[in-house]
Chain A
């Protein structure tokens, strides 16, 4: 299968702190890849290295075989990597539709002259992106809310608006940073199905940072576990669940043995 994103020995250092330490990551096309790990493990930092917010001190980030580290974020977005944020970051004082319309920016061909003269092709393009943005809002379940200011939308709607804005970039790779944070179980389930739909309908590869293990184990094709900036495990959900290092990272040293014992007792009971 074709590889969409490849990170080779990526390291990011803040002062004396190695936030991401020689991480390798290979994401095949059409996969839903999850990155998990305890708080402060470097997950978001890795995201920032991929989406161009940070330039890693060492290592390469390849998108469809092209090196992208060091590129400005708008160029990265134009190449086809879109992302959402852990703490929602919308353009708060713009309406929801406008938020999505900004997402079309990398694909617009207008200039200030054409906007000034309102040439027919400019008008056609504008009409097109208004239609597309409305359709995207409909797709994420926000039909009819488009003219509200982003800051007036409820929390769950803001999360989905962020995804709509990212989809407007027409990405090939979508980075979702804790898309279900702060949601109740029903909303989380809906979001989980929605993520799978994005992948299936739009054929977008997805990398996910997520804390909710039910989501992660349910939809991931591949899970990478970070701890203290290092990748300590990788594999499909089953492998990760059984990996003693992962359990140790989450629950502390000695936990793996305990959990093994617990499981044995449980099977014994059954």
Chain B
């Protein structure tokens, strides 16, 4: 083993040690062990410390990953058992020793009777003892070292095993793919009715599910739906036209408040028809998009981000302040907002609302697709990729950027109105910066400029946290990390947008141009 390899292994161990310590400090060790315990089918009360075995599983997974990473330092080399043993052992040992040092310090402080929770809010006495496997600090620390090393070595072996079997796995997968392509998938793909059937199934699910899965899921999925609306709008602004807007919540707030103020008995006693108010809310948001957009058209990406963030905050602070109290009820918010009515009947149950949101989402997806695939979508994309050149190619960038802002804002207005109507309430804190950040994250994680990406992102970022309620407090932490990681390893998102095939064959109506069909040249 050469020096560089040892250094790399030690660095990997260091990183993993820090990760384990960080997880312990933010209480993630306890929460995730609890999740593992639940996944194994054992019950766990609220606030109860999970079992040591689930903690060992959690640590083991991290340790294996550590060993795996440390042993695969170079993509092109073939791994030998000897190499792997050394590397993974070093990585595991470094991580283990680091964790042990942490455990010793924290354990000693805890034993001396200092209440660590006053400084580090997750380090209760029980969680510290849990981290030491309920042993004394020395034994607990040593267990960490041994266990980390052991698991890292196992991880190293797994890396070797996976590499040796890679060829076989690949050939097996290929043969399965070939088989399924020959037998059924190929036929299905060629069959035009399949997509109709699929669409029918989805529609059927959309009709049936809201009736069957109960109010809670209707609430959760309704929120997801509203975030799909917001995502579609921001996708037009950020994903297509390339304007990084951080104050998207401003449009959401304008939609929600317009709807609220025109339908609530307080403070203005304008009890308008639901549909008219909805239309007005959408229009108001779209108009505000133009008004906010006009003065800031010339700003470049990063300035635009900060300015729009400022707009969002201004609107929230104004809504909360006493200045607009008579107009918008100040911090109390607007109550008794109307629900949908049609032909004199009111539709305000959770099922009705779910249908309404589904309709809105389907309509919005339809519209967003139309725009995206039109010349307008192409102009937006051109602007996002090189604004200067787009303009010099004849694209009226100001017009298109404003159009993107106002159309995107219209979606937010629709989402805001539905949100206010469903909750029958809207207040300034519904419109905090976090909404903008959430929507931005879902657009980016899903894949900028990709409509399926938006839907996927909304489910992942609004639906999943509802399912994994334990992780609720880590949601934003994970969002933040996800943004960084996505930018580094997969900036195009989970479900990247694809370009359509458009070229049509040409009849030779021109003289052939004397150009050799160059394939080469320097690239």
Contacts and interface: CB of A to CB of B under 8 A. Distances in A.
- Is chain B in direct contact with chain A in the complex (CB below 8 A)? yes
Interface of A: 51-53, 72-74, 76-78, 82-83, 85, 89-98, 101-103, 105-106, 108, 110, 112, 115-116, 118, 122, 126, 129-131, 133-135, 137-141, 143-144, 146-147, 149, 154-157, 160, 165-166, 169, 182-184, 186-187, 190, 193-194, 197, 201
A26 to B, nearest CB: 23
B521 A126 contact: no
Nearest to A78: B394
B516 interface: yes
A32 B347 CA distance: 71
Given A138-B510, A141-B517, A155-B521, A147 B392 contact: no
Contacts of B280: none
Given A77-B393, A110-B374, A112-B371, A131 B504 contact: yes
A160 B389 contact: no
A183 B521 contact: yes
29 contacts: A73-B392, A74-B393, A77-B391, A83-B392, A94-B378, A96-B503, A97-B502, A97-B503, A102-B379, A105-B393, A112-B403, A115-B376, A118-B370, A126-B375, A133-B502, A133-B503, A138-B510, A141-B517, A143-B505, A147-B501, A155-B523, A160-B515, A182-B522, A187-B516, A187-B521, A190-B514, A190-B515, A201-B510, A201-B511
Nearest to B407: A112
B489 interface: no
Interface string B486-523: 00000000000001111111100111011111111111
Contacts of A194: 513-515
B56 interface: no
Greatest chain B CB density within 10 A among A78, A93, A140, A147 is at: A93
A115 B374 contact: yes
A116 B393 contact: no
Contacts of B367: 116
A87 to B, nearest CB: 11
A85 B392 CA distance: 11
Greatest chain A CB density within 10 A among B407, B504, B519, B522 is at: B504
Given A91-B382, A139-B513, A193-B514, A102 B521 contact: no
Contact of B375 (A101, A143, A157): A101
Given A112-B407, A141-B515, A190-B516, A102 B503 contact: no
Contacts of B396: 74, 105
B29 interface: no
Nearest to B499: A95
B191 to A, nearest CB: 24
Contacts of A51: 392
Nearest to B503: A146
Contact of A155 (B376, B389, B522): B522
Closest 9 CB pairs of A and B: A146-B503, A106-B394, A156-B521, A115-B374, A77-B394, A141-B515, A155-B521, A156-B518, A73-B392
Nearest to B392: A73
B508 to A, nearest CB: 8
B180 interface: no
Greatest chain A CB density within 10 A among B375, B519, B521, B522 is at: B375
Contacts of B181: none
Contacts of B522: 155, 182
Interface of B: 367, 370-371, 374-376, 378-379, 381-382, 385-386, 388-397, 403, 407, 499-506, 509-511, 513-523
A102 B378 contact: yes
Nearest to B515: A141
Nearest to B516: A190
Given A74-B393, A95-B500, A155-B523, 4 more contacts: A74-B392, A85-B389, A105-B394, A110-B376
B515 A140 contact: yes
Nearest to A129: B375
Given A112-B376, A116-B371, A156-B520, A94 B381 contact: yes
A53 B503 CA distance: 31
B473 to A, nearest CB: 37
A165 B395 CA distance: 12
B390 A102 contact: yes
Contacts of B520: 154, 156
B385 A105 contact: no
A139 B515 CA distance: 9
B381 A91 contact: yes
A165 B393 contact: yes
Contacts of A116: 367, 370-371
Contacts of B407: 112
A197 B514 contact: yes
A68 B407 CA distance: 32
B374 A126 contact: yes
A101 B378 contact: yes
A11 B494 CA distance: 50
A154 B517 CA distance: 11
A95 to B, nearest CB: 5
Contacts of A156: 518, 520-521
Contacts of A82: 393
Contact of A91 (B390, B500, B513): B390
Nearest to A126: B375
Nearest to B504: A134
B69 to A, nearest CB: 31
A123 to B, nearest CB: 10
A152 B367 CA distance: 31
A116 B364 CA distance: 11
B475 to A, nearest CB: 31
A143 B391 CA distance: 26
Nearest to A183: B521
B415 to A, nearest CB: 19
Nearest to B509: A135
B392 A77 contact: yes
A154 B521 CA distance: 7
Nearest to B497: A93
Contacts of A103: 393-394
Given A74-B391, A89-B389, A110-B374, A94 B513 contact: no
Greatest chain B CB density within 10 A among A93, A102, A129, A201 is at: A102
Contacts of B502: 95, 97-98, 101, 130, 133, 146-147
